[in-house]
């Protein structure tokens, strides 16, 4: 059993309940919504964000059931962003399968993404917590801004590390942060524990995305379900590329990388990957991810010792040790 599966065993019944809520809440009287929803559900995924909500709630001593709905609406927000992302990026594959937009078209993907977003807010409202609504409404706004910032960075070889980190905080880490904080709120945790879990989620999400960007230049496509260099193909200057561009001493190679970012494409992928490796860009990105994971672990000191706290700690380690 791998590390992630071991952690999932801690809240196995909760995860089964979350899957049931996801399936039930995706149901619609409109057949096309049902078809696209079934395509998304069948795609699976790690369910990492719902897992954080469940573990965080249990680590705070929660004994109710609202964390199940919270875990589901966090996954819905994530799913909606993926549906919209794949349209914006023109992606054809995700998790080794055809994307919804490549099967059903861009219009259907955008509109079903809107349905999933609005269903998430229906579920939030049903919980009846003003604080939960405040956290999630702010989070979805920040995520939307992150999407626009990424669009602005795409094709721009002058994107800085700071701009890149701002994008991944908004696009990825914010939802991790919000899920952990919502769990603490539902559990009636102390303000200091709520802040600690928000910090945990932020640093975990950042570490996770940094490793994702390493794997874009290093992983086995069959294992990961994406092709090597997908970010480069879309003209996305992620940290390994930004670092390689900054440190490469070969002016011709630097110009080649700049051109690849501006145009988007994989014609020079082999040379670019070699440059990324020779400049230590992957190791540099991994070190940053390790530092973020360490900060996530430090934030957990605010929680009492429980198996679920240890599960959260194991997730921080998994985020930086994974190969897919």
Domain count, the chain: 1
Classify 63 as helix, strand or coil.
coil
Using alpha carbons, select from 264, 269, 263 the residue that is nearest to residue 217: 269
- pLDDT cut 70: percent of the chain above it: 97
Q: Model confidence over 67-81: pLDDT tens digits? A: 999 999 999 999 999
What pLDDT score does 224 carry? 47
What pLDDT score does 221 carry? 56
Decide the pairing of beta strands 93-94 and 97-98. antiparallel
CATH code of 184's domain: 1.10.600.10
Confidence of residue 48 (pLDDT cuts 50, 70, 90): very high
Classify 93 as helix, strand or coil.
strand
Interval 29-35 mean pLDDT: 92
pTM: 0.94
DSSP 142-155: HHHHHHHHHHHHTT
What pLDDT score does 227 carry? 65
The DSSP 8-state label assigned to residue 169 in this structure reads I
Give, for 75, the enclosing helix (H) or strand (E). Answer: helix 66-89
* Residue-range definition of the domain harbouring residue 124: 3-321
Give, for 98, the enclosing helix (H) or strand (E). Answer: strand 97-98
């Amino acid at each position: 059993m791998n590390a992630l599966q071991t952690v999932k065993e801690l809240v196995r019944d909760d995860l089964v309940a979350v899957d049931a809520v996801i399936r039930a809440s995706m149901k619609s009287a409109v057949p096309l919504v049902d078809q696209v929803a079934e395509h998304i559900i069948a795609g699976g995924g790690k369910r990492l964000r719902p897992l954080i909500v469940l573990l965080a709630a249990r680590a705070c001593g929660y004994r109710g059931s609202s964390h199940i709905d919270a875990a589901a609406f966090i996954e819905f927000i994530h799913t909606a962003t993926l549906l919209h992302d794949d349209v914006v990026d023109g992606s054809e594959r995700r998790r080794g399968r055809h994307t919804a937009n490549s099967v059903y078209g861009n219009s259907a993907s955008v509109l079903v993404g809107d349905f999933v977003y609005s269903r998430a807010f229906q579920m939030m409202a049903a919980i009846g917590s003003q604080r939960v609504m405040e956290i999630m409404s702010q989070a979805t706004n920040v995520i939307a801004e992150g999407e626009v910032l990424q669009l602005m960075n795409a094709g721009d070889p002058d994107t800085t590390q700071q701009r890149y980190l701002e994008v991944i905080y908004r696009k990825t880490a914010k939802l991790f942060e919000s899920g952990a904080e919502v769990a603490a709120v539902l559990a009636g945790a102390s303000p200091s524990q709520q802040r600690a879990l928000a910090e945990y989620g932020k640093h975990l999400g950042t570490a996770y995305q940094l490793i994702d960007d390493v794997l874009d230049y290093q992983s086995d496509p069959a294992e990961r379900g994406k092709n090597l260099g997908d970010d480069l193909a879309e003209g996305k200057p992620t940290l390994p590329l930004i670092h390689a561009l900054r440190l490469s001493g070969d002016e011709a190679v630097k110009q080649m990388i700049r051109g690849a970012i501006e145009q988007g494409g994989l014609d020079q992928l082999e040379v670019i990957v070699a440059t990324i490796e020779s400049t230590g860009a992957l190791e540099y990105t991994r070190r940053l991810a390790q530092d973020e994971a360490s900060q996530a672990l430090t934030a957990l000191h605010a929680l009492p010792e429980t198996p679920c706290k240890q599960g959260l700690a194991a997730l921080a380690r998994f985020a930086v040790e994974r190969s897919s």
